């Protein structure tokens, strides 16, 4: 665990901002999984889950971001903001109100992606009409799939600073979670899952050749990959630096292989075809992870708040410079320097 004292944090933040001009900064937080319920454990019983404390940690992260100078220009909320146990306890709406009340204190816009726990609590229509739909913060909010298309996907992009772009992806576009029973995407996802996973419990990875083919994961439709390809082509032509974001990691070396998106090879080949892509940021694996791939793309998996003890933290601020991004992590999130790949890598 990396512990960063106040003075050390101030020095690092100063250093991150001083050496070559700071262009902008943004906050990142993953897997809050709030529930007003007693602490518990993950499925294998190896990690404690602090359901109530996660709301306090979210509050203190927002307080810290609000105090930063210069302030972050936006926050990325990487999904699983409330836990699936709320659905069983019929507290989904109340839990969502509690986390949104905290998020409204944030002085900058918050961009949301959707994880498996969003779909344990809500269907896609409910999510689209909720405050967890931040697509209105994107450029060209009608790009990608139409908002009222039941087979559509939730993805958008925005540019917070000239020559920088962030693309939010839907890693549950192809999934049995969140798709209407009998819909085309549900049928396709269930068929894919059953081909790869012969277990009675489709959440179980026991005996699988490809451990990630479990029900709590998902993947990308062809339409979404085509959309992503178009956005990245624009970014290449405009000489932008692009960070792609999703709940699920897309590189098996950046996470426990059980947590990676189903058809991660497909999205990796799209990312690798575009020189503009510098980073992929995800959550889902509460232990976090990092990998610099052979094309120079940084894969950053954020540690989850839910498995973070009350006396620690799990969030970060990323400082964007001309030549690199600098992650200043808090608590379980380590500091990292992410140099951009050289054009032509």
Ligand X SMILES: Nc1ccn([C@@H]2O[C@H](COP(=O)(O)OP(=O)(O)OC[C@H](O)CO)[C@@H](O)[C@H]2O)c(=O)n1
Residues of this chain that interact with ligand X (CB under 6 A) are 42-43, 80, 84, 116-117, 201, 203-205, 216, 259, 284-286
| Closest distance to ligand X from the beta carbon of 258 (Å) | 7
Cβ atoms within 10 Å, residue 145: 19
| Closest distance to ligand X from the beta carbon of 49 (Å) | 8
Residue 70: cis peptide before it, omega within 30 degrees of 0: yes
HSE value, Cβ hemisphere, 13 Å, CA-based, for 310: 8
CA distance linking residue 272 with residue 232, whole number of Å? 10
Strands 74-77 and 110-112 turn out to be: parallel
Closer of 177 and 225 to ligand X (Cβ):
177
Is the distance from CB of 82 to CB of 32 less than 8 angstroms? yes
| Closest distance to ligand X from the beta carbon of 332 (Å) | 13
Strands 22-29 and 74-77 turn out to be: parallel
Q: In 3-state terms, the chain is what percent helix, strand and coil (to 5)?
A: 30, 20, 50
Is the distance from CB of 29 to CB of 314 less than 8 angstroms? yes
CA distance linking residue 141 with residue 302, whole number of Å? 27
Closer of 112 and 286 to ligand X (Cβ):
286
| Closest distance to ligand X from the beta carbon of 306 (Å) | 7
**Taken in order 328, 334, 217, 104, is the CA torsion positive or negative?**
negative
Residue with the shortest CB distance to ligand X: 203
Name the β-bridge partners of 40: 49
Q: Please report the DSSP string for 270-295 in residue order.
A: HHHT-TTEEEEEE-S-TT-EEEE-TT
| Closest distance to ligand X from the beta carbon of 163 (Å) | 34
Closer of 43 and 209 to ligand X (Cβ):
43
Helix 53-67 and helix 92-103, axial crossing angle in degrees, nearest 10? 20
Using alpha carbons, select from 2, 25, 26, 28 the residue that is nearest to residue 247. 28
Closer of 43 and 294 to ligand X (Cβ):
43
Is the distance from CB of 185 to CB of 105 less than 8 angstroms? no
| Closest distance to ligand X from the beta carbon of 247 (Å) | 9
HSE value, Cβ hemisphere, 13 Å, CA-based, for 96: 20
| Closest distance to ligand X from the beta carbon of 341 (Å) | 28
Closer of 201 and 230 to ligand X (Cβ):
201
Closer of 108 and 259 to ligand X (Cβ):
259
| Closest distance to ligand X from the beta carbon of 144 (Å) | 24
Closer of 259 and 267 to ligand X (Cβ):
259
Closer of 180 and 203 to ligand X (Cβ):
203
Closer of 48 and 203 to ligand X (Cβ):
203
CA distance linking residue 21 with residue 277, whole number of Å? 21
Is the distance from CB of 229 to CB of 276 less than 8 angstroms? no
| Closest distance to ligand X from the beta carbon of 120 (Å) | 8
């Amino acid at each position: 665990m990396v512990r960063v004292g106040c003075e050390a944090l101030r020095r690092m933040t100063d250093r991150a901002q001083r050496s070559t001009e700071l262009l902008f900064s943004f906050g990142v937080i993953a897997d809050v999984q709030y529930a007003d319920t007693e602490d518990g454990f993950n499925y294998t019983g190896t990690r404690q889950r602090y359901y109530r404390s996660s709301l306090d940690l979210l509050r203190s992260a927002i307080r810290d971001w609000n105090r930063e100078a210069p302030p972050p220009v936006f926050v990325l909320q990487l999904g699983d903001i409330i836990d699936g146990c709320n659905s069983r306890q019929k507290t989904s709406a109340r839990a969502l109100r509690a986390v949104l009340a905290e998020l409204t204190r944030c002085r900058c816009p918050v961009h949301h992606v959707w994880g498996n726990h969003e779909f344990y609590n809500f269907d896609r229509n409910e999510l689209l009409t909720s405050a967890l739909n931040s697509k209105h913060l994107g450029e060209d909010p009608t790009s990608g799939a139409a908002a009222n298309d039941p087979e559509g996907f939730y993805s958008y992009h925005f540019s917070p600073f000239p020559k920088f772009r962030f693309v939010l992806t839907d890693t549950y576009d192809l999934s049995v979670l969140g798709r209407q029973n009998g819909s085309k995407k549900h049928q396709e996802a269930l068929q894919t899952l059953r081909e790869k996973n012969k277990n009675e419990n489709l959440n179980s990875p026991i005996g699988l050749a490809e451990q990630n083919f479990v029900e709590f994961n998902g993947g990308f439709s062809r339409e979404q990959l085509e959309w992503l390809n178009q956005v990245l082509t624009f970014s290449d032509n405009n000489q932008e630096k692009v960070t792609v974001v999703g709940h699920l990691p897309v590189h098996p070396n950046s996470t426990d292989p059980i947590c990676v998106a189903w058809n991660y090879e497909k999205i990796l080949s799209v990312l690798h075809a575009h020189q503009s892509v510098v980073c992929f940021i995800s959550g889902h694996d509460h232990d976090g992870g990092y990998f610099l791939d052979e094309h120079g793309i940084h894969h950053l998996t954020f540690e989850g708040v839910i498995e973070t003890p009350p006396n620690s933290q799990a969030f970060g601020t990323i400082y964007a410079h001309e030549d690199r991004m600098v992650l200043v992590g808090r608590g379980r999130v380590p500091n990292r320097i992410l140099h951009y790949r050289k054009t032509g890598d």
